[in-house]
Amino acid sequence: MVHKSHQQSSQHLMINKDKWWDILQHFIDVLHINIFILDPQGQIILPPYQGRYGAEFLENKIFGLELSTDSPVFFRQFEKHENYLEYHNHTLDLHHFAIPMSAENGKLLAYMIVGPVILNKRLDSAEYKLISDKLQFDFDRLLSIINEVRVVSYITIKSILDLLAEVSKYVIQLSFQGQKMHNLGLGQETFPPQISKAAQDIYSSICLDELLVTLLDVALSLTKAECGSIMILDKKRGGLMIKVSRGIDAERAKNTQVKLGEGIAGLAAKERIPFVIRGTTGDKRILHLLKRPEIRHALVIPICLENTVYGILNVHSKNEENNMTDESLNVVQNLSRLTSAAINSIQQQSYPV
């Protein structure tokens, strides 16, 4: 169970803790990686998930990266790595990443810390035994904590960071847009509720569209696929419509509609199951639908909000050498679940940040 920090400052008040608490819990449940928020001075806004996912590595100073309510040197241990900051614990080969969370005007509000994670593979047991002896820390306890830490590839963690950064940006943008309207006297007290709600729905829709584009781009980059789309369930029409696409003819994307249960995407949506397709081979339920042998590899993955289908993520490649593995499926599924949590958060968004 996560425990809330009672420390507050004027900087902390710019982040709505309850809202971000709900968001981060969704992300942690999906990713099985600790995520928490610190202000730019290293003070805790939202603490790590205690007792799981390697949190003890942040609580015990013998492991190097000690987290406390007064951590002015915390970020001095991080180095710039592309768009993020990275800390590498060389002793245990653990990695932490920091995602900047900024306002529309560029002001840095906080950092979202992701980790610890292990890149590629764990050390062997003998190496951990040497480390435990050196640190004078119980070996069995060290192994227990290490086994809570998720092992990921560099490509996977970069995809997770990219998507988390976009989620953070859109949630903050949506909130600050609402604050601007409120500060200008354009809130609920000025307009009838139905008008102000329509304005918020329009802005939410823009945020969601951009988030879906990001999910698709990250999925294409991860799988090295050339084409893809995200289809959204239109409940009024009872079918799936293409919302965003890459590498697909614009007219075809505009006019495509798939009913629930029909075609591969329709079956995936109806049964809420993913499909991995390799040429004309795949799940026996869709063999009769595999009529495009030029598509060498494809993933068809439902995007679900709680117990309902929101849409379908499709990526495919005509490259024979582009082998979409089960690992690719698992990673893209995790990203789609992460996006589902973000969509749910944005749809329920209210002000402030």
Segment 240-283, tens digit of pLDDT: 998 888 888 888 878 888 888 888 888 888 888 888 877 666 66
Please name the fold of domain 12-152. Answer: Beta-Lactamase (3.30.450)
Q: What rounded mean pLDDT belongs to the chain?
A: 76
What residue spans define the domains of the chain?
12-152, 171-347
With CA atoms as reference, report the closest residue to 312 among 264, 251, 350, 279: 264
Instruction: Give which of 317, 309, 297 is closest to 336, Cα–Cα.
Output: 309
Chain center to CA of 262:
30
CB crowding 248-277: b at 16 or more within 10 Å, else e: beeeebeebebebeebbbbbbbeeeebbbb
Lowest-confidence range among 44-53, 106-115, 267-276, 342-351? 342-351
115: left (phi over 0), alpha (psi -120 to 50) or beta: left
Q: Report residue 298's pLDDT band, with 50, 70 and 90 as the boundaries.
A: confident
Of residues 99 and 73, more confidently modeled: 99
The per-residue pLDDT for range 110-165, each reduced to its tens digit, is 899 998 999 989 999 999 999 999 999 999 999 999 999 999 888 778 878 887 88
- The yes-or-no answer to whether 12-152 and 171-347 have a common fold is yes
DSSP H helices, the chain, are: 17-31, 56-59, 125-135, 139-146, 154-183, 193-223, 250-255, 263-271, 326-347
Q: What architecture (CATH level 2) is domain 171-347?
A: 2-Layer Sandwich (3.30)
Indicate if the pLDDT at residue 340 is higher than 50: yes
